[in-house]
Amino acid sequence: ALKVGIVGLPNVGKSTLFNAITNSKVEAANYPFATIEPNVGVVEVPDKRIDFLAEKFGSKKILRTTIEFVDIAGLIAGASKGEGLGNAFLANIRETDAICEVVRCFDDKDITHVEGSVDPIRDIQIINLELMYADEATIDKRMAKVLPKVKSNTDKDAKAEYALLEKCKQTLTDGKLLNTLELSDEENKILKGFQLLTAKPFIYVANVGDDDLAEDNKYVKEVRQFAEENNAKVVKICAKIEEDLTEASDEEKREFLKDLGANQTGLDELIQVAYQTLGLITYFTAGPQEARAWQIKQGWTAPQAAGAIHTDFEKGFIKADVYSYADFEKLGSEKAVKDAGKMRLEGKGYVVEDGDVCFFKFNR
Ligand code: GDP
């Protein structure tokens, strides 16, 4: 499963957010792995489309897609030099697919700020600088290894790799995260192999008090501005309310949030933003047994998408019946979709789109 790492300075609300995630109903009940580490929370991706499909097909079971949140506590200034939990901490981040950075955007005299005052941009710089130092060290090591190959001309890929490393190093020197780099597909492929921390997508979670959910306070505005300049997303959340709401019914939640001027839970929004940030889309399969959402990467072809169900489906792929969820919602049944000529037969080259409902035909 795809993993999102939760990072941030101490006392900004990371544990509160993580508790909200693990105690809430969005936590995946039928997650297939029995033993999950205590700092990992698996959540179901909210999607109303699957409920509608299940209702119309009379499906006995609904299976949603999931993503994992990993609570990565212990980042302090100096981590890249091995201070505190330094290295273990960085290794944890390396394994994630995206970084969710919690930033304190609430005033509360009773809750100490490790840096003495509330200043989200400074906090972001502290965390990001540690990650950038770590990347710089990785890059330097790699450059030292690749340089002899460039000089001796023994490896034809070495030159391209070295050029990319130089580009990365310059970006860090300029004070920018590596995810701000605009790269070719070829370069992106090479970059993946470097396992750099700041090349991952970033989501900033602006943690506010409940009175600042309706309108952005000055801290949130600063974070939004920063994120915009740095190719990142922002989700405003009140972690404390999310934690308090974990026991509430959906209806209670909606009422409560409406009173505060928010239209969905910050948690739902965070999950959705994370899903998009990871470049994921959803297609569906539906029948009387189960309605199921499948998670695939944007750009996957029909055989690849079928492979998400079973590798045999990919190998033996023949063709697929496909229609869009939008048409199904409009017309109300598979038969109506078919009668309206909206069901298509697609072959191997078809690129699956978000919201497609698919039925695969394959050779066993
Ligand atoms: P962590 O060290 O980043 O994991 O931070 P915690 O989640 O332990 O939160 C630190 C303190 O801030 C706790 O006392 C929380 O109850 C409090 N806190 C978390 N979120 C909010 C919030 O949105 N508003 C206020 N006022 N306090 C919060």
Read out DSSP for 208-238?
--GGGSSS--HHHHHHHHHHHHTT-EEEEE-
Q: Which contiguous run of DSSP H or E holds residue 261?
A: none
Ligand 1 centroid–CA 67 distance in Å is: 24
| Protein residue whose Cα sits closest to atom 10 of ligand 1 | 11
Compute, in angstroms, the gap from residue 208 CA to the centroid of ligand 1: 10
Question: Atom 19, ligand 1: which residue's CA is nearest?
Answer: 13
Q: Which of 19-33, 49-63, 189-203 has the lowest mean pLDDT?
A: 19-33
The secondary structure element, H or E, covering residue 42 is: strand 40-44
To the question of whether residue 15 is assigned a binding role by annotation, the answer is: yes
**Using CA atoms, how far apart are residues 348 and 319, in angstroms rounded to an integer?**
7
Q: Which residues line ligand 1 (CB under 6 A)?
A: 8, 10-16, 106, 108, 111, 207-209, 238-240
In the chain, the percentage of residues whose pLDDT exceeds 90 is: 62
Report pLDDT for 34: 37
Residue bearing the CA closest to ligand 1, atom 11:
11
Residue given tokens 């017309």 in the structure block: 331
pLDDT category of residue 355 using cuts at 50, 70 and 90:
very high
Q: What is the pLDDT of residue 362?
A: 87
Q: What is the pLDDT of residue 265?
A: 80
Tell me the mean pLDDT in the region 175-194: 93
Q: Name the architecture of domain 128-194.
A: Orthogonal Bundle (1.10)
pLDDT of residue 32: 47
Q: Mind listing the pLDDT tens digit for each residue in 233-274? A: 999 999 998 888 888 887 888 888 888 877 778 888 999 999
**CATH superfamily of the domain spanning 299-362:** Beta-grasp domain (3.10.20.30)
- The residue ranges of every structural domain in the chain are 3-113+201-277, 128-194, 299-362
Query: Is the model more confident about 153 or about 226?
Result: 226
* 25 is an annotated ligand-binding site residue: no
Whole-number Å distance between alpha carbons of 279 and 227? 18
In 3D space, the residue among 203, 220, 198 whose CA is nearest the CA of residue 132 turns out to be: 198
Residue 13 CA to ligand 1 center (angstroms) comes to 4
Alpha carbons within 13 angstroms on the beta-carbon side of residue 234 total 22
Is 145 within any annotated ligand binding site? no
pLDDT grade for 33, boundaries at 50, 70 and 90? very low
Q: How far apart are CA 267 and CA 276, in angstroms?
A: 14
pLDDT at position 249 is: 81
What global pTM score does this model have? 0.87
Say whether pLDDT at 363 is over 90: no
Q: Which CATH number fits domain 3-113+201-277: 3.30.1640.10, 3.40.50.300, 3.90.79.10, 3.30.360.10?
A: 3.40.50.300
- Range with the largest mean pLDDT of 28-32, 111-115, 224-228, 247-251: 224-228
- The atom number, within ligand 1, closest to the CA of 241 reads 23
Q: Which of 37, 185, 21, 47 is nearest to 100 (CA)?
A: 21
C-alpha 95 to ligand 1 mean position (Å): 26
Query: Was 13 annotated as part of a binding site?
Result: yes
